[in-house]
Amino acid sequence: MSNKRKLNDIFYQFITYISALISVLALSSIFMFVFIKGSSLLDFGLLFNDYHEKYYNGGFNGDIDFSLTPEPDNLEANEFYSSMWGIALKDAKDREGNAIIIVSYISKDSPFSNMYDKNSVDIESSIVIKEGNIVSKISYYDKPTSLTRYGAELMIKDLDTVTDIREVVYTSLGGGIRGSLLTTLFIIGLTLVLALPMGIFTAIYLNEFAKKNKITNLIRSLIETLTGVPSIIYGLMGLAVFVPFTIAITKADSANLISGSMTLAVILLPIIIRSTEESLKVIPDDLRTASLALGANKTQTTFRAVLPSAYPGIVTATLLAVGRIIGESAALIFAIGTAIKDDVSIFGRSTTLSVHIWSLMKDEPANIELASTIALIILIIVLALNILVKLVSKKFITKIV
């Protein structure tokens, strides 16, 4: 009997341990995956680069003024320099892992700083090669073309032997997330501007002004219902309500950042209201009576005596809201669209970081590396926000007690 009981105990303990272990392993593997896949591409350039590469075809008119700049001393061993053309090239890999030749240095008087744009009808148009551009091909009048696959060293050698060039084909480096980052920041700003006052005012009304009656309860439960609505339904609402609305009153002619922010603002409302209300509830009624007994009116009492003590709660609400904005994807796919843009306008479509991930994963073939890098950035931000929330509420608790 006792033996059986012991076995039973061991069995139950075992499944408890195993479950906890599975949870921890499964969930930490998410971190590991994102970190391993994403960290290889993570650098500051990524944050400021365009996503779409731009193609240029440059050519020369008439005589070329050759560069007189000698080789700068700070070049590394893998950078090859042509003093005649004033340009240094090196071999590199792009964000998809393909070999490329990248411009690592270009002197001010390089002939490449003054070319005409072969794609433009305007003969006077001039384009320049910048550091960080990718040279994919240089073709000459009397020599075989230099290509990426022969490497940077050979391309420089070829350059040194010629005095004229038929065409330089180069691109700006793509695969960056500047547009999405900018969109995310815009959206955070716009959404908070819309949702914070609305949410905070509502919370103040419910907690400080409203009488305890059926109407107040109804308002509360209607707002509470919002928390159970899946975000894709909010997306539909954005599509049906906010997109036509913004098209009607702004110069936008499609889904846009404003309609997206309005949709997010609705998603955030219940979060902000609840969190603000909770922080208002903790404030002892003593403070309110003391203020009223001094001849302050309700408004003064709320703004001068109550809100200053409630601000950590509001900060918490804001931080949680920012986290939610950064993470939201389904609602925004409907309310702003999925087109990744480099030139962001609040009246046009573009993607936040989360939707950028979704678009990358929906592409054929999916770009998991870049998606993971963005996910890593999102994770870092979200975790930082959560730690901040913990710090703020810790401070809040010690202050009240």
Partner 1 sequence: MDNIFSIKDLDLYYGNFQALKSISLDIDRNKVTALIGPSGCGKSTFLRCLNRMNDLIENCKIEGKIQYSQMDIQTKSFNVIELRTKVGMVFQKPNPFPMSIYDNVAYGPRCSGIKKKSELDVIVEKALKRAALYEEVSSRLKDNALGLSGGQQQRLCIARAIAMEPDVILMDEPTSALDPIATLKIEELINDLKRNYTIVIVTHNMQQAARISDKTAFFLMGELIEIDSTDKIFTQPKNKKTEDYITGRFG
Partner 2 sequence: MEKTLECFKRILGKSKKENIDILIRGIFGISALISASVIIIIIIFITIKGVTPFISYNQGLGQVNIFRFLTGRVWLDGAAFSSSLYGVGFIIINTVYIALLSLMISMPIGVLTALFIAKVAPQRLSIFLRTVVELLSAIPSIVYGLFGSGVILVLVYNFAELVGIQSKGGNSVIATVLVLSLMSLPTITAISEVAIRSVGKDIELGSLALGATKTQTNFKVVLASAKSGIFASAILGVGRALGEATAVSLVAGNSKSGPSLGLFDITSTLTSTMLEGLKETTGLDYDIRFSVGIVLMIVILLTNIILNYVKRKVGSVSVK
Q: Which residues contact 26 (CB under 8 A, 6 or more apart)?
A: none
Among 7, 47, 99, 240, binds partner 2 (CB under 8 A): 240
- Residue 198 engages partner 2 in binding (rule: CB under 8 A): yes
Asked if 249 is part of the footprint of partner 2 (rule: CB under 8 A), the reply reads no
Q: How far apart are CA 359 and CA 1, in angstroms?
A: 61
Residue 344 is given by DSSP the state: -
Is residue 221 involved in binding partner 1 (CB under 8 A)?
no
Minimum CB separation of residue 388 from partner 1 in Å reads 22
Nearest residue (CB) to partner 1, 198 versus 292: 292
> Among 185, 229, 397, 400, which residue sits at the site for partner 2 (rule: CB under 8 A)?
229
Span interacting with partner 2, options 126-134, 184-192, 277-285, 367-375, rule CB under 8 A? 367-375
Q: Which is nearer to partner 2, 9 or 164 (CB)?
A: 9
Asked if 292 touches partner 1 (CB under 8 A), the answer is: yes
Q: Is 225 in the site for partner 2 (CB under 8 A)?
A: yes
305 binds partner 1 (CB under 8 A): yes
**Which entry of partner 2, partner 1, none binds 292, CB below 5 to 8 A by partner kind?**
partner 1
Read off φ and ψ for residue 57, nearest 5 degrees.
Answer: -125, 115
233 touching partner 2, by CB under 8 A = yes
Strand, coil or helix: what is 106? strand
The 10 Å Cβ neighbour count of residue 285 is 7
Q: Could you give the maximum distance between any two Cα atoms of the chain, in Å? A: 102
- Residue located via tokens 């994919």: 136
Give whichever of 3 and 297 is closer to partner 1, judged by the CB atom.
Answer: 297
Contact 353, 378 (CB under 8 A): yes
Residues in the chain: 401
Which secondary structure element, helix H or strand E, spans residue 88, and what is its range?
strand 87-93
The angle formed by the CA atoms of residues 45, 356 and 44, to the nearest 5 degrees, is 10
Pairing of strands 55-59, 167-171: antiparallel
The answer to whether residue 286 forms part of the interface with partner 1 (CB under 8 A) is yes
- Least Cβ distance, residue 313 to partner 1 (angstroms): 14
Count of residues that bind partner 2 according to CB under 8 A: 81
Output the smallest distance, CB 390 to partner 2, in A: 8
Q: Are 220 and 205 in contact (CB under 8 A)?
A: no
The SS3 of residue 312 is helix
Nearest-angstrom CA–CA distance, 64 and 86: 12
* Interface stretch with partner 2, choices 6-14, 45-53, 285-293, 305-313 (CB under 8 A): 6-14
Cis peptide before 144 (omega within 30 of 0): no
Closest distance to partner 1 from the beta carbon of 190 (Å): 33
Alpha-carbon distance of 322 to 219, in angstroms, equals: 25
* 399 belongs to the binding site for partner 1 (CB under 8 A): yes
The residue among 181 and 305 lying less far from partner 1, judged by its C-beta, is: 305
Regarding 328 and contact with partner 2 (CB under 8 A), the answer is yes
210 binds partner 1 (CB under 8 A): no
Among 210, 241, 296, 330, binds partner 1 (CB under 8 A): 296
Distance CA 294, CA 301 (A): 10
Task: Give the residue, chosen from 68, 290, 366, 387, that forms a contact with partner 1 under the rule CB under 8 A.
Answer: 290
Q: How far apart are CA 401 and CA 392, in angstroms?
A: 15
Residue 297 makes contact with partner 1 by CB under 8 A: yes
Number of residues lying near partner 1 (CB under 8 A): 21
Judged by the rule CB under 8 A, the positions of this chain that interact with partner 1 are: 211-212, 284, 286-297, 300, 304-305, 308-309, 399
